[in-house]
Amino acid sequence: MDGRRALHPDEAAESALDLVRLISNLPEIEGVKLYEVPPVELDSILEFLGRVPNPQCPNLKRLDIVSSPLQDPRLLLVALGKLFVMRKEAGMPFQSVTVKMKCETLIPAAEHRAFLTSWEGIVGDVMLEYERTEVEGGGGGTDDLGDCVGWSGWPENWPKTVEEMRGQ
């Protein structure tokens, strides 16, 4: 435990709104760090950052995310992909993105690689990593979800960046 307390849903929504207001009023902002923002609020923030046209954030080049605990990381990965495409098409691609997903279940290695590959050319440097966690109220992690790799079978050599993938 790092001393942080979970926000009440109303507090989380208000904090996300405050962040969007702050970013809107600081056009010179170059980087945003999002730490354990609840999924609904994180989706809203990512949607705001990808809004086209989005003249409020023309200088935003860096995005760092540590997710709140997720059952499955796919929804966040898909949302990030949409954000990257929208920013690239608007002429404002991110130069650096770091995402650490706290999740209960993993995606297959091939799917992980597919996300990294699909982002090549639409975002600069992107680092994608996972951290094992449990979701409150979740059914517990399981290793028998079709082709998903469970934590007991986690390959430690998964590439975190496109460059690492090229070297394998």
- 23-72 pLDDT tens trace: 778 878 899 999 988 888 898 889 888 876 655 677 889 999 999 999 98
Task: Walk across the sheet containing 62-66 and list its strands.
Answer: 31-35, 62-66, 96-103, 125-132
Q: Which one has a higher pLDDT value, 12 or 88?
A: 88
Q: Which of 57, 37, 38 shows the shortest CA–CA distance to 49?
A: 57
pLDDT digits (tens, 9 = 90+) for 91-118: 889 999 999 999 988 888 889 999 999 9
Place of tokens 């009023």: 25
pLDDT score for 133: 86
pLDDT digits (tens, 9 = 90+) for 124-162: 999 999 988 888 765 544 444 544 555 555 656 688 888
8 pLDDT exceeds 90? no
pLDDT score for 64: 97
**Percent residues over pLDDT 70 in the chain:** 79
22 pLDDT exceeds 90? no
pLDDT score for 24: 78
Q: What is the pTM of this model?
A: 0.81
Concatenating the DSSP letter of every residue in 28-69 gives T--EEEEES--HHHHHHHHHHHH-SS-TT-TT--EEEEEPPP
Backbone phi and psi for residue 78, each to the nearest 5 degrees, phi listed first? -65, -45
